[in-house]
Amino acid sequence: MTTFRFFAYLDRLRWIKRWGLKRNVIEENVMEHSWQVATIAHALAIIRFEILHQPSSEFSPDEVATTALYHDCSEIITGDLPSPIKYHSSTITDAYKRIEDEAEHEILSLLPAPMQSSYRKFLLHKAIHPEVASLVKAADLISAYLKCQAELHAGNKEFSSAACDIENTIRNLQMMEVDYFMTNFVQSYQLTLDELLSQHEPHNGPS
C-alpha cells in the first residue's frame, strides 16, 4: 500500500529553528511562526475588505490565511536560511530561489496526484496571486518585527538592529492595512497576561 508523506514532512516544521545567527532568549520554530503569519495575514485581508472597503473578487481572507500557513514549507528541505545570508548578494539570492522552487515542487509531489492541483496555489510561490503574496509577505515582516520586540523586551539587544531595519521595511510598504494593524494591534503583544486581563471589566450580570 502506498503512503504519502506530505503531512509527516509538514510536522517536522516544529524542529526547524528560526533566527539561527542570533542569540535567542525566546526560541521560535517555523511551525509556530507560520501559524502567527497566517493569523496576521488573515487579519490584513479582513482589514482591507471590511475596514478599508477594498474588496476583491479574486481571493478571500481564507485563501490568504491558508497561503500564509504554507509559506515556509520549502524550509522542510532547505532549512531556514537567515536573511543576511539569503540577500548577501544577487548570486546567493538567485541560487536560493532556484533551490526554493525545486523544494516547493518536491513538497507538492508528496501529495496524491488528485490533491496537487488544490495545493498548488498555496505551495508554489510562482502560482500565488500577487496580492495574496503581498499580504503574506507583509504579515511575515510583522511577525519578524514582533519577534524582535519580544527579544528586546526580554533585554536581548542582539535584535536591536534587526528591529529597526524591519520597522523601516514595514513603513516603506505603504500598505494601509499594514499601518492599521501596526497602530491598533502591535502594542498589546508585549502586555503580560495580567495586563491583558485587566482591560476586561468584571461582568456582574444585567444591572
**Which pLDDT score, from 0 to 100, does residue 88 have?**
65
The reported pTM is: 0.88
Taking phi over 0 as left and psi of -120 to 50 as alpha, with beta for the rest, 3 belongs to beta
The residue with cell 515556509 is 72
**Which pLDDT score, from 0 to 100, does residue 154 have?**
95
The amino acid occupying position 69 is L
Instruction: Judge whether 138 and 178 are in contact, CB under 8 Å.
Output: yes
Please, what CATH class does the domain formed by 6-191 belong to? Answer: mainly alpha
**Which pLDDT score, from 0 to 100, does residue 128 have?**
96
Gap between the Cα atoms of 185 and 122, Å rounded: 26
Closest of 96, 123, 99 to residue 7, by C-alpha: 123
How many Cα atoms are found within 13 Å in the side-chain-facing hemisphere of 37?
Answer: 27
Instruction: Judge whether 166 and 141 are in contact, CB under 8 Å.
Output: yes
Mind listing the pLDDT tens digit of every residue in the chain (207 residues)?
A: 679 999 999 999 999 999 988 999 999 999 999 999 999 999 999 999 999 999 888 999 999 999 999 999 999 988 776 676 676 678 877 776 888 899 999 999 999 999 999 999 999 999 999 999 999 999 999 999 999 999 999 999 999 999 999 999 999 999 999 999 999 999 999 888 888 888 765 555 554
**Which pLDDT score, from 0 to 100, does residue 8 have?**
95
Residue 153 in grid coordinates:
523586551
The amino acid occupying position 191 is L
Residue 184 in grid coordinates:
491598533
> Nearest 5 degrees, angle CA 8-CA 136-CA 141?
105
